[in-house]
Amino acid sequence: MQYDHILIRYGELALKGKNQKRFLQKLQANIRHKLKEFPNVTVKRTQGRMFVILNGHDPHEVIDKCKNIFGIHSFSLAIKVANNIDEIKSASLFALQNADGVKTFKVTVKRINKDFPYRSQDMNQILGGHLLTNTSHYTVDVHHPDLEIKVEVRSEATYITSGVVKGLGGLPVGTAGKTLLLLSGGIDSPVAGYLAMKRGVEIEAIHFHSPPFTSDRAKQKVLDLAEELTGFGHKIKIHVVPFTKLQQRIFQETPDGYGMTVMRRMMLRISEQVCRNEDILSLTTGENLGQVASQTMESMNTINEVTNYPVLRPLLTMDKDEIIEISRKIDTFDISIRPYEDCCTIFVPKAPKTKPKRDRVNYYESQFNYQDLIDEAVEGIEVIEITDEKQIKEEVFEDLF
Ligand code: ATP
Ligand code: MG
């Protein structure tokens, strides 16, 4: 006997009323995509349930993949058997004997198919008795069992599920529109992207690159970060903006530690232009209140003045250690701490203003024609598309050895 199904639970998706169908279709498509490397696996929806049908694949390998899919709240291994009491007994025994670290258990039977000759209460007794007589070191605990074995008798078959594995939660990526993530090589912005994806948002990324002051390795770092993020979605289009000319001009033209404020405003202007071209409705940054000079309330007020697009800041109120914890969990931390320079670290004034004034910035900006430089930067954008194919292939390759 072997586990042949995985039952997928999708938590709050159940609350989405009329939209539910769209959410479920997306979740199903995302699961199918992530499980592409298992050729025999199928993903089915039946009567308010979603199942991965393993068709011979190792359940634990498939579960590991499912752990990176937003919209899955938990899952359980399941065995499908005919509506036959002997088969149900053997499957329940298998479930108990194949669970690790279990001393106490409980059987819960739900009889949806009323034609089945045993009532739920009787089944609880029969199965509990069967498990106790065929094993020696388990006891029943109806209140806080180590393992709950659930038996659901449906019209087509009976499903025996055991144990609950926590999923990633959130909503299926692709159900909440698209955002343009300002992706630097730092620790914060990849985490911000991950959290936007958690709420179902699909991302494209924009990166400001200032060669020769920033190297190809700095750019590669950003591509590698984006590739990690594709592990939680499908593909990410990255817009790499040649920023050198505009950046040099900004720092020639802007006195009094205002260079960084102007630079950020230019980043937002360029990002908004990309949103317009790509039909994207919001921006996302890794900004975090009070972390550095550009992230004070006054700075955000002055920088945000240039765009009417919503700017999502998923990290706004987090502590740095909370952000680092997530970056380790999603495997971006080690990439982020590679030592290559970022355009901001190179041009940043020695004493950037922590309370930049809107009227001062507007005055400095009015002193030079930045629009042409913005247009030139937008025209020079290099678009790179990163897919999760490489990740899928690499893992298959590792499995062979
Ligand atoms: P991060 O760790 O994400 O770099 P940070 O704490 O270093 O963030 P800043 O350098 O002030 O903060 O940048 C704030 C935000 O501006 C970043 O989180 C990112 O969204 C955006 N940003 C900064 N530099 C770039 C860049 N070169 N390209 C794209 N976006 C950038
Ligand atoms: Mg940074």
Over residues 84-114, the pLDDT tens digits come to 999 999 999 999 999 989 999 999 999 999 9
Whether 210 and 186 have beta carbons less than 8 Å apart is answered as no
What's the rounded Cα separation, in Å, for the pair 374 and 269?
Answer: 8
212 shares its domain with 287: yes
Instruction: Tell whether the model's pLDDT for residue 399 goes beyond 80.
Output: no
For ligand 1, atom 25, the nearest C-alpha belongs to 184
Instruction: Tell whether the model's pLDDT for residue 387 goes beyond 60.
Output: yes
Task: Average the pLDDT over 251-267 and give the result.
Answer: 92
Instruction: Tell whether the model's pLDDT for residue 48 goes beyond 70.
Output: yes
Cα-based distances in Å from 261 to 76, 204, 351, 362: 51, 24, 12, 11
What's the rounded Cα separation, in Å, for the pair 209 and 206?
Answer: 10
What's the rounded Cα separation, in Å, for the pair 77 and 60?
Answer: 9
Ligand lying closest to the C-alpha of residue 293: 1
% of the chain residues with pLDDT over 70? 93
Residue 273 lies in a domain: yes
pLDDT in the model for residue 396: 42
| SS3 label, residue 177 | coil
Instruction: Tell whether the model's pLDDT for residue 115 goes beyond 90.
Output: yes
| SS3 label, residue 250 | helix
Atom of ligand 1 nearest to the CA of 185: 4
Residue 391's Cβ-side half-sphere holds a number of Cα atoms within 13 Å equal to 22
Ligand lying closest to the C-alpha of residue 219: 1
Residue 117 lies in a domain: yes
Question: What is the CATH number for 184?
Answer: 3.40.50.620
Residue 11 tokens read as 């938590």
How many CB atoms are closer than 10 A to CB 76? Answer: 21
Last residue of a domain, one of 166, 197, 225: 166
Instruction: Tell whether the model's pLDDT for residue 223 goes beyond 90.
Output: yes
pLDDT in the model for residue 344: 62
pLDDT in the model for residue 16: 62
What's the rounded Cα separation, in Å, for the pair 345 and 247?
Answer: 12
Q: How confident is the model at residue 49 (pLDDT cuts 50, 70, 90)?
A: confident
What's the gap in Å between 364 CA and the centre of ligand 1?
23
Residue 131 lies in a domain: yes
Residue 336 lies in a domain: yes
Beta bridge partners of 150: 108, 161
Least confident of 143-147, 227-231, 385-389: 385-389
229 shares its domain with 338: yes
- Cα end-to-end distance, the chain, whole Å: 26
> Exposed (0-12), middle (13-18) or buried (19+): which is 344, by Cβ within 10 Å?
buried
pLDDT in the model for residue 168: 94
Q: How confident is the model at residue 21 (pLDDT cuts 50, 70, 90)?
A: confident
Residues marked as binding for ATP?
182-183, 207-208, 264, 286, 295
Instruction: Tell whether the model's pLDDT for residue 395 goes beyond 50.
Output: no
Ligand lying closest to the C-alpha of residue 286: 1
* CA angle centred on 399, ends 393 and 401, rounded to 5°: 120
pLDDT in the model for residue 388: 81
Whether 44 and 53 have beta carbons less than 8 Å apart is answered as yes
Mutate to test the pocket of ligand 1, among 183, 187, 188, 302 (most ligand atoms within 8 A of CB): 188
Task: Average the pLDDT over 265-285 and give the result.
Answer: 97
Last residue of a domain, one of 138, 166, 194: 166
Residue 172 tokens read as 């299926």
- Pocket of ligand 1 from Cβ distances under 6 Å: 182-184, 186-189, 206-208, 285-287, 291-292, 294-295, 342-344
69 shares its domain with 189: no
Mutate to test the pocket of ligand 1, among 180, 182, 295 (most ligand atoms within 8 A of CB): 182
349 shares its domain with 243: yes
140 shares its domain with 201: no
Q: For residue 246, give the nearest of 275, 274, 208 by alpha carbon.
A: 208
pLDDT in the model for residue 210: 93
Q: Compute the CA torsion angle 229, 227, 238, 369 (nearest 10 deg).
A: 80
Q: How confident is the model at residue 117 (pLDDT cuts 50, 70, 90)?
A: very high
- Give the range of the structural domain holding residue 339, as residue numbers without chain letter: 178-387
For ligand 1, atom 11, the nearest C-alpha belongs to 294
pLDDT in the model for residue 19: 80
| SS3 label, residue 357 | coil
% of the chain residues with pLDDT over 90? 80
In the chain, what are the helix, strand and coil shares in percent, each to the nearest 5?
45, 20, 35
- Strand 74-81 and strand 158-166: the pairing is antiparallel
Residue 400 lies in a domain: no
Cα-based distances in Å from 14 to 9, 19, 21, 173: 9, 10, 10, 16
Residue for token digits 């291994």? 77
Q: Which residues surround ligand 2, an ion (CB under 5 A)?
A: 184, 186
Three-state SS letters, 295-325:
HCHHHHHHHHCCCCCCEECCCCCCCHHHHHH
pLDDT in the model for residue 394: 47
Task: Average the pLDDT over 221-229 and give the result.
Answer: 96
* E strand segments, 222-352: 235-242, 282-284, 311-312
158 shares its domain with 197: no
Residue 392 lies in a domain: no
Mutate to test the pocket of ligand 1, among 189, 282, 346 (most ligand atoms within 8 A of CB): 189
Residues marked as binding?
182-183, 207-208, 264, 286, 295
Residue 114 lies in a domain: yes
| SS3 label, residue 213 | coil
Q: For residue 37, give the nearest of 393, 386, 390, 388 by alpha carbon.
A: 393
For ligand 1, atom 21, the nearest C-alpha belongs to 182
Instruction: Tell whether the model's pLDDT for residue 401 goes beyond 50.
Output: no
211 shares its domain with 313: yes
Ligand lying closest to the C-alpha of residue 214: 1
Q: How confident is the model at residue 334 (pLDDT cuts 50, 70, 90)?
A: very high
The pLDDT tens digits for 173-202 are 999 999 999 999 999 999 999 999 999 999
Q: For residue 359, give the nearest of 268, 287, 256 by alpha carbon.
A: 256
Question: What is the CATH number for 91?
Answer: 3.30.2130.30
Cα-based distances in Å from 4 to 65, 189, 369, 376, 396: 16, 40, 65, 57, 21
For ligand 1, atom 7, the nearest C-alpha belongs to 186
205 shares its domain with 315: yes
Task: Average the pLDDT over 118-124 and give the result.
Answer: 93
The pLDDT tens digits for 124-178 are 999 999 999 999 989 999 999 999 999 999 998 999 999 899 999 999 999 999 9
pTM of the model: 0.90
Instruction: Tell whether the model's pLDDT for residue 50 goes beyond 60.
Output: yes
For ligand 1, atom 17, the nearest C-alpha belongs to 286
Query: What's the number of domains the chain is made of?
Result: 2
For ligand 1, atom 22, the nearest C-alpha belongs to 184
* CA angle centred on 18, ends 14 and 19, rounded to 5°: 70
Atom of ligand 1 nearest to the CA of 187: 2
186 shares its domain with 320: yes
Last residue of a domain, one of 166, 199, 231: 166
Mutate to test the pocket of ligand 1, among 179, 183, 184, 275 (most ligand atoms within 8 A of CB): 184
Atom of ligand 1 nearest to the CA of 343: 27
Q: For residue 262, give the nearest of 303, 319, 227, 228 by alpha carbon.
A: 303
- DSSP code for 39: T
Q: For residue 102, give the nearest of 75, 82, 131, 63 by alpha carbon.
A: 131
275 shares its domain with 149: no
How many CB atoms are closer than 10 A to CB 309? Answer: 18
99 shares its domain with 224: no
Mean pLDDT, the chain, whole residue set: 91
- Is the pLDDT higher at 11 or at 254? 254
The pLDDT tens digits for 342-380 are 666 666 667 788 899 999 999 999 999 999 999 999 999
For ligand 1, atom 24, the nearest C-alpha belongs to 184
What's the gap in Å between 48 CA and the centre of ligand 2?
44
Q: How confident is the model at residue 398 (pLDDT cuts 50, 70, 90)?
A: very low
Instruction: Tell whether the model's pLDDT for residue 68 goes beyond 90.
Output: yes
What's the gap in Å between 308 CA and the centre of ligand 2?
23
115 shares its domain with 229: no
Residue 173 lies in a domain: no
